[in-house]
Structure 1
Amino acid sequence: MSEYTIYHNPRCKKSRETLKLLEDKGVNYDVVQYLKEVPTKDELKKILAKLNVKPFNLVRKEEKKYKEEYKNLDLNDEEWIEVMHQNPKLIQRPVVVKGNKAIIGRPPENVNELF
């Protein structure tokens, strides 16, 4: 198992830039294309704990689906986790995990905190 895991969307520029940053550092990493390999609710909870954020803070609010279906809803943490599990496109990207710490790579330089 690698030291780092990146939850990656190859179509996202910030995600590609963060992946390149990991490559440039020469670290071992695993790539999880989370749109194909959707994190379970338990995995999302672990990621959130490592990020030390509430589920709502991991939701991409600029996504059309969020604006159309979820923007005006008052959901609790479990419900937001379910929303992200059912709609992985709504998960902020990329997320890089190292041990029991994680960072959202927006901007990609945030990941430097893990080195």
Structure 2
Amino acid sequence: MIQIYHNPRCGKSRNCLAFVTEKETEVTIIKYLENPPSEKEIKEVLQKLNFKPIQLVRTKESIWIENYKNKTLTDDAIIQAMAEHPILIERPIVIKGDKAIIGRIPEEVAQFI
């Protein structure tokens, strides 16, 4: 089964979702802005991505720029920021088993699934 952290307002996320649902029958869509992940869930996703927390942050989002940019933050503080402001989470995230990728490039998603 494939899971996708999806933002319907994001073109890359919509394209990824369309691509994955065309190839796979069992897809769980996680609308993470409507149902924000907990800090524990974010840590699990980071582990599957093999990312440091800052690698999952959309650093061009105004919330990040206004509240966090140029501050020294611990990994836990970055995770807390993403839990409080899920718009900061990079998207789409495609999860399969214990692995995940950022699904912005269709060719990479194709290889992954």
What is the TM-score of this pair, normalised by structure 1? 0.93
Q: What's the counterpart of residue 5 of structure 2? A: 7
- SS class of match (1:6): strand
What is the aligned-residue RMSD (CA, Å)? 1.1
Contact kept, 8 Å, 1:15 with 1:108, in 2: the verdict is no
- SS class of match (1:39): coil
How many residue pairs match? The answer is 113
Q: What's the counterpart of residue 25 of structure 2? A: 27
**Matching residue within 82, 88, 91 for 1:90:** 88
- SS class of match (1:49): helix
Structure-2 separation of matches of 1:111 and 1:86? 28
- SS class of match (1:30): strand
The one-letter amino acid paired with 1:60 is R
Structure-1 separation of matches of 2:105 and 2:93? 11
The one-letter amino acid paired with 2:38 is T
Structure-1 separation of matches of 2:106 and 2:12? 6
**How far is the alpha carbon of 1:100 from its aligned partner?**
0.3
**Matching residue within 97, 105, 112 for 1:107:** 105
**How far is the alpha carbon of 1:108 from its aligned partner?**
3.7
Structure-1 separation of matches of 2:56 and 2:65? 15
